[in-house]
Amino acid sequence: MPFLGTTGGGSLKQFGGQANLGYFIKNSLRFRGSASAYLNRTFGTPSSGLSCTSSGWVKLGTIPPTGTLFEAGTGASNTFMRCTFGQVGSELNWRQVTSVGGLAAEKGTSMLFRDPAAWYHIVCVWDTNNATAADRQRVYVNGSQVTAFGASTDPSSGLVSYFNTSSYIHYLGALNIGGLGGYLDGYLAEINFIDGQALTPSSFGKTDAVTGQWVPKKFAGTYGTNGFYLKFADASAATAAAIGKDSSPNGNNWTPNNISVTTGATYDAMIDSPSLSGAASNYATLNPLDKYTSLPAPTNGNLSQANGGAAWYNIRSTIGVASGKWYAEVTQSGSNLFAGVMSGSSARNFTSYTDASGLYAFFNNGGGTTGYKYANGTSGSSFTIASGDVIGLAYDYDAQTLAIYRNGNLQDTVTSIPKTETMFFCASHAETTGSTVWNFGQRPFSYTPPSGFKSLNTFNLP
């Protein structure tokens, strides 16, 4: 999926023809690296340790990416299979290490993963009965087989996969060898694991004839003994029987750890999705590639932003707009921060809050208890705020207004916002404490948006 640009121009709508495909991924699960989030399960005897297929969609938080997609093994003998981002740089590295510490198999892609706006479909195939050594371990991204590797060691014929081995604890989102760590920061969706079959991506996706995009397809085959299908659809509890439920016939549920389905800023059951189906779609996040260098990188799937120091450092959203009505919410804490909209050509830093050219926003100043509207360097009348308040931002591009709500109540409205270029939701932070936590609609809003205002996702773009 192409990156949703940071400076605007032209339509940003993605997957134009997907609405007619008839199959949509409706849910994803956020893995907050800051919370050490992961899933785990102990496998039984496999259908086959020589052939298996892992398929899943991932949207990255940290850029360059770090963290683990899947791992299994034992630290006692340094025996493991691990698929991680950031082993060397921005690549994907999938390796198996034997009990004597030897490298038995490895595919480290030359391809880099650096797009925080994209959903990537990654398929890993273990096929050590294959007579062709180079095809015994295969990696596919968005339907295409990866053939360029910075590191490659072909597994020997008949080598058993450790990720599908009885009694080993298996992990999604974290690695266990040497103690839990290497936590993924980002989102996973539509995880299928097929025990006993070496499949191709066509079992899980297809090319949209209208757009040429690689899009999801429902898996219609069998799973094998250890196979599972995680669609993260039941957010009633952070348990193996609910958010960790296996929707294959096997009932191979996964135990969630440090995953929250409690309403609020830490809610991890998302509708951010690689589909284009109304509510479930690819949502905006903060863009770690479009921030001032000295501002800390956003965290928690690029929805949390910490303050960055004495100057005003800015970050924009991954999706910009050039028409329409858009609503987002910000849970704020601390002081000296903006949350609003700014143009794609505006500076990424200001020397002081009085020179914030191109910024139209809610402004938190005065020790964190006073809020203002703010327009292009000038602040308006004040209103009382408190840490933990939810600030609603209702931006009407065509009417050139930004209405500011505090806990569902209208406080003030910025007017006369220029509409000569693409505009982005943005955060601007100073000081060393405080934060903003954003919600563009990928989790339930705390308050009902004003009539006619939409969540910022690819389906809703004109």
Q: Give SS3 for 402.
A: strand
CA 57 to chain centre: 10
Overall pTM > 0.75: yes
Residue 401 pLDDT more than 90?
A: yes
pLDDT tens for residues 417-437? Answer: 999 899 999 998 877 778 899
- Asked which of 62-71, 93-102, 447-456 is least confident by mean pLDDT, the reply is 93-102
Q: Which of 90, 130, 127, 125 is nearest to 108 (CA)?
A: 90
The residues with which 414 forms a beta bridge, in sequence order, are 402
pLDDT tens for residues 196-227? Answer: 999 999 999 999 888 889 999 999 999 999 99
Q: Does residue 220 or residue 279 have the better pLDDT? A: 220
Instruction: Report the pLDDT value the prediction gives residue 367, as an integer from 0 to 100.
Output: 67
Reply yes or no: is the peptide bond before residue 64 cis, omega within 30 of 0.
yes
Q: Does residue 460 or residue 355 have the better pLDDT? A: 460
Residue 2 pLDDT more than 70?
A: no
Q: Which two tokens stand for residue 420?
A: 């000569």
Domains and CATH numbers, the chain: 18-270 (2.60.120.200), 286-439 (2.60.120.920)
- Give residue 353's pLDDT band: very low, low, confident or very high (50, 70, 90): confident
The residues with which 306 forms a beta bridge, in sequence order, are 435
Q: Does residue 368 or residue 461 have the better pLDDT? A: 461
- Asked which of 220-229, 296-305, 337-346 is least confident by mean pLDDT, the reply is 337-346
Location of structure tokens 């991506």: 201
Q: Does residue 432 or residue 453 have the better pLDDT? A: 453
Q: What is the mean pLDDT of residues 399-420?
A: 96
Q: What is the mean pLDDT of residues 405-420?
A: 96
In Å, the largest CA–CA distance within the chain is: 74
Instruction: Report the pLDDT value the prediction gives residue 346, as an integer from 0 to 100.
Output: 86
Instruction: Report the pLDDT value the prediction gives residue 23, as an integer from 0 to 100.
Output: 87
